[in-house]
Amino acid sequence: MIEEKGIFSGGEFCGHASCPGCGEKIILRHILDVLGRKTIIVCPAGCAAVTDGIFPHSISPVPFMHTPFDAVASCAAGVRAGLEMSGRSEVTVMVWAGDGATFDIGMGALSAIAERNENILYICYDNEAYMNTGIQRSSATPFGSWTTTTPRGRLKSEPKKDINFILASHKIPYIATASPAFIDDLREKVNKAKEITGLRFLHVLSPCPPGWKSDPKDSITLARLAVECNVFPLFEIENGERIRLSYRSQSLPVTEYLDMQGRFRYLSEEETETIQSRTDEYYKTLNSLHESEQPLRMTMRKE
């Protein structure tokens, strides 16, 4: 009746060391399923690097190259150059990096490959903190979140870094956000990105039960609510100019999302309201950019 298809069969992806309910592994299996075998993964320090297997074992069905935290983008550029030199331009070079490597430690190198528009598919699984080292805040951690470095009483007071618009200002051909709860949308975006040449950036929300202090069974529900509450809207930016919402959310109150996670347990009512109003505003802006169909133009200083 139903056929097993894709590149995984016979337990190829089984036995990894991710925690129960890990979002990262759900996302990765679908990405690899879409990209197929002609792919090289370049992966910096992070959850993905420690959970794919114990040396000399790995769940990865394709070459999986480990790199230093800050150097993933540069290493990927090197792999790309090597492939081009040996005439294997059909191989996809995919970066698989967490938010720490992307938003913080590897930001410089990422900006560099973006500026050079290297032919790389950069995918960030964003679990919104340094999780495998013990839940330290990153610049992707949302406002009001508890982490071990933003404990109760000193919850994170800065908003999450808006990585997509930073990359948009590099005018790269394709940027998209995605959520594992919207698996068809995620797969479509990977497929679309695969066909584009140049730097493509996918930003995928990756629920993390131990870090978010949520029930493992709720990982997908949270990934869904993040979108439905507009905390993590699904959109695409083409050439750094044209913004399209990929999904009309139900605009549910943010509390539906926040209340299911222990990391938001210490929010005051006021802080919750701040999150709601910022979320509303951000979604409104995205929506008007979507509807205006006007290219997003930075105001350039006149020479």
Binding site for other proteins (CB under 8 A): 1-4, 8, 10-26, 29-30, 52-60, 64, 66, 180, 183, 209, 215-221, 224
Largest CA distance in the chain: 66
Q: What are the C-alpha distances in Å from 210 to residues 127, 133, 213, 228, 267?
A: 11, 12, 5, 23, 19
> Based on CB atoms, which residue is closest to other proteins, 124 or 243?
124
Nearer to other proteins, 225 or 275 (CB): 225
The minimum distance between CB 206 and other proteins, in angstroms, equals 10
**What is the nearest approach in angstroms of other proteins to the Cβ of residue 25?**
4
Closest separation in Å from C-beta 19 to other proteins:
8
Please report how close the Cβ of residue 256 comes to other proteins at its closest, in angstroms.
11
How far is residue 189's CA from residue 157's CA, in Å, rounded to a whole number? 32
Distance CA 252, CA 228 (A): 6
- Between 58 and 276, name the residue whose CB sits nearer to other proteins: 58
Q: CB atoms < 10 A from the CB of 194, how many?
A: 16
Would you say 32 or 176 has its CB closer to other proteins? 32
CA dihedral 189, 180, 14, 122 (to 10 degrees): 40
Cβ at position 199, least distance to other proteins in Å: 27
Q: Which residues contact 243 (CB under 8 A, 6 or more apart)?
A: 235, 236, 237, 286, 289, 290, 296
CA neighbor of 75 nearest in space, from 37, 114, 109, 29:
109
**Least distance (Å) between residue 69 CB and other proteins:** 17
Strands 92-98, 174-178: pairing kind: unpaired
- Cα torsion 188, 232, 235, 92: sign: negative
Q: Is 21 or 142 the residue whose CB approaches other proteins more closely?
A: 21
Given the complex with other proteins, which of 71 and 267 has the nearer CB atom? 71
